[in-house]
Chains A and B, each alone.
Chain A
Amino acid sequence: MKKQIEKNIKSLLHSIWKSGDMAISWTKTSIPGKRTPFFIKNKNQIDQLVFDTFCAVSLATYLTEFNRKEILPEDFKGKLHITCKPCDARSVMQLFSDMQVSEELVNLIVIQCDGIADESKLTKIMSGYVSNIEEENDRFICKGIGGTEKSVPIRDCWLDKCSDGKNCDLPYYYGYYFVGNETEYRKRISNLLHTKTDLVQDTMSPKELKKLVNKELSSCIRCNACRNVCPACFCSDRCVFEQPKVNVKYLDSEDASKNNILYHMIRFNHVAPNCTGCGECERACPMSIPLSMFYKYFNRLMWEEFEYKPGKTNSERQKLLSYHLGEDLV
């Protein structure tokens, strides 16, 4: 069925493609289980597109990059087609709401998703070495050292957000193409069990929170991978951590845990109002810091206070950036 979806994406792109368009999608790499973003700049590249269980990278982050560098081809004059899983589509919605990308520019293609596998989780299960991966029903058949075969349930390799299911809702938006069966998709996500226990509990005391923060965040190496893959981070060269225009350092890069914690604390508070919970920060982190758990906590707080969940529509203003006349000042 996944092959069919991939085929449908290709034929959809072929049918809507006009000269001067560009598309962002995924393609294969030589490493088993790794898919890489792929920029389709002319029509005959469409067939290199791949969509399968390993397309973990959220392409929404590239929409923020348009301010940062010139990735659009010189002859670009049409639409930018972007293929998204439903969770990534929510990030695109948030970028629309925050007026970072023009809706006229982007053509959103949402794909029916059956859960995305994390290649690094699979590699860990296979103790570091996979030479070939094949998908059979709901299991991966992996080849390890010396040709040994191991069958791994796909569910065991899912990204955390996929088993959680809280980010799987389709956005309230009229203008997207859906590839796949929408009713089937809605049925699948309504059956997902939200069993994952949160690392950051609401009942935690400030002392416990502090202990947790110290434990988890002090291993940070400040590579900025979490910031750079984040679709909600669009300050580009006006980021507080590095301001190339003025070259001011507001935060020491010294590896003292207080600096690393402050780095993340600034990000939590700054990004939480438009964090859709896509989990890219956690996936990108080379030190396996469970960052999305912290963002989830901030999102819960925001829901309690404002009943606001980022990424639901294309036009909702951020609650921390807007106010109603007559609203009580906090």
Chain B
Amino acid sequence: MRKRLQKQKLSSLIKKLKEDATVIAPVMTDKNEVDFLPVNSEEVILSGARSLYSPKKYIFKQSESMYDYTIQDSGKVTVKESCENEKQIIMGIRPCDLHAIEYMKEFYSGKYKDSYILRRLENSVLIGLACTEPSTNCFCTSLGNSPVDTDGSDIMMADAGSFYFVKGITEKGKKLIENNKDIFEDSQEDDERVLSDIKESCEKAILEKIDVTALKNKVGSAYNSDIWKKYSDICVNCGACTFNCPTCTCFDVADTSRSKNEGCHYRTWDTCQNFAFTLHASGHNPRSTSEERLRQRVMHKYQYTVDQMDQFSCTGCGRCTQVCPVGISMIAILKDIKEVVDNGEE
């Protein structure tokens, strides 16, 4: 299904969508940073490079209650499972983040299904947006992705000058377009060309290119090399990279009390860069050094998920590099890995 959306019609579309769902879109915050927020009347920013913050927090929340409990005076305990059924529509998701959501969906629907996240995905409509410009740290083409990929989206949008080219991908997306068909216009025959134009100009501007797909299944051979020490020396072991990563899926669970008789069992983001992440009750820690923890992050993204799910869990958004307070670059690590792999093969 191919349509056109005139740019001045965007606000009326959002207004219409808001009637039965929360609409989340990239807007400028008062800190002069683009972030995904529920929109009211602010101007939605559907141009420029991808935002510093990913929309991950609307699928996999920073923290969420899994069940609440109350203890009555008689001693009876009642447990209530948290069950969010709010509909949400996330607009302006870039292809890298769409890939990440796709990965997350697969990850959480494996042998043990995560009903909280799957329910939230079920209730979300994801509207993608092709990237017209990369950011300094972007390297999606290195992972075999492209700035106009539609995988994972329900509807894909692309800036075509005076209008957006809109493509319904899934049934859910097509239904949304059908329900608002008076806002959209029919598309012309060669409208789809805008995607290949955007792809060409955006890919040309991407600064970092290294063929990571050629390293598939080979990254593991760098496990015992000495490249990790170089980066772990300067790594300060914060979790900025993992918390801003759109594919990092680890969480911790804990209980907390709200009052004397009430409490909840909640989960929060957790990071493998933290010492306590793998700490055993016995006091033993299998990943006690910074070197092991940094290696774990890289290996998980480029080797372990390849082993388990036959895909990289990195989409090349470059946010880890952008937020690192000490300037550790994922591309630099990958280049070092490539060197080790190449030397090993000779």
Q: Report yes or no: B329 in contact with A30, Cβ–Cβ below 8 A.
A: yes
With the chains together, A8 CA to B321 CA distance in Å?
A: 31
Residues of B within 8 A of A124 (CB): 32-33
| A interface: dominant SS | loop
- A69-B290, A129-B136 known; A145+B238 contact, CB < 8 A: no
Asked if A100 is an interface residue, CB under 8 A from chain B, the answer is no
Closest to B32 in A: A124
Q: Report yes or no: B205 in contact with A146, Cβ–Cβ below 8 A.
A: yes
Residues of B within 8 A of A288 (CB): 31, 33
Asked if A61 is an interface residue, CB under 8 A from chain B, the answer is yes
Minimal beta-carbon separation of B193 from chain A (angstroms): 20
Q: Report yes or no: B266 in contact with A254, Cβ–Cβ below 8 A.
A: yes
Asked if A264 is an interface residue, CB under 8 A from chain B, the answer is no
State how many residues of chain A have any CB contact under 8 Å with chain B: 50
Residues of B within 8 A of A65 (CB): 236
Residues of B within 8 A of A222 (CB): 239, 268
Q: Mark A236-249, 1 if CB is under 8 A from B, else 0.
A: 01000010110101
| B interface: dominant SS | loop
Q: List 19 A-B contacts (CB under 8 A).
A: A30-B208, A30-B329, A30-B331, A32-B136, A34-B327, A34-B329, A37-B327, A124-B32, A128-B48, A129-B135, A131-B207, A223-B238, A224-B238, A228-B237, A229-B236, A244-B275, A252-B254, A253-B268, A254-B266
Residues of A within 8 A of B205 (CB): 129, 131, 145-146
Asked if A156 is an interface residue, CB under 8 A from chain B, the answer is no
Q: Report yes or no: A224 in contact with B31, Cβ–Cβ below 8 A.
A: no
With the chains together, A120 CA to B233 CA distance in Å?
A: 23
With the chains together, A248 CA to B131 CA distance in Å?
A: 45
Minimal beta-carbon separation of A186 from chain B (angstroms): 30
Q: Mark B229-253, 1 if CB is under 8 A from A, else 0.
A: 0000110111110111000000010
- A228-B236, A242-B274 known; A129+B49 contact, CB < 8 A: yes
Residues of A within 8 A of B281 (CB): 247
Minimal beta-carbon separation of A121 from chain B (angstroms): 9
Asked if A293 is an interface residue, CB under 8 A from chain B, the answer is no
Asked if B79 is an interface residue, CB under 8 A from chain A, the answer is no
Asked if B227 is an interface residue, CB under 8 A from chain A, the answer is no
Residues of B within 8 A of A280 (CB): 325
Identify the A interface with B (CB < 8 A).
Answer: 29-32, 34-39, 57, 61-62, 65, 69, 71, 120, 123-124, 127-131, 145-146, 221-225, 227-229, 237, 242, 244-245, 247, 249, 252-256, 280, 283-284, 286, 288
Q: Report yes or no: A254 in contact with B327, Cβ–Cβ below 8 A.
A: no
With the chains together, A304 CA to B136 CA distance in Å?
A: 45
Residues of A within 8 A of B49 (CB): 127-129
With beta carbons under 8 angstroms apart, the residue of A62, A128, A247 that contacts B136 is A128
Interface centre among B32, B244, B325 (most CB of A within 10 A): B325
Closest to A286 in B: B323
User: Can you name 13 extra interface pairs (CB under 8 A) apart from A31-B329, A145-B133?
Assistant: A34-B327, A36-B326, A37-B326, A37-B327, A39-B234, A128-B133, A129-B134, A131-B207, A237-B275, A242-B276, A247-B281, A253-B254, A286-B243
Q: Report yes or no: B32 in contact with A36, Cβ–Cβ below 8 A.
A: no
Q: Report yes or no: A283 in contact with B137, Cβ–Cβ below 8 A.
A: no
- A31-B136, A224-B238, A284-B240 known; A244+B254 contact, CB < 8 A: no
Q: Report yes or no: B62 in contact with A255, Cβ–Cβ below 8 A.
A: yes
Q: Report yes or no: A57 in contact with B52, Cβ–Cβ below 8 A.
A: no
Closest to A230 in B: B236
Q: Report yes or no: A130 in contact with B136, Cβ–Cβ below 8 A.
A: yes
Minimal beta-carbon separation of B195 from chain A (angstroms): 19
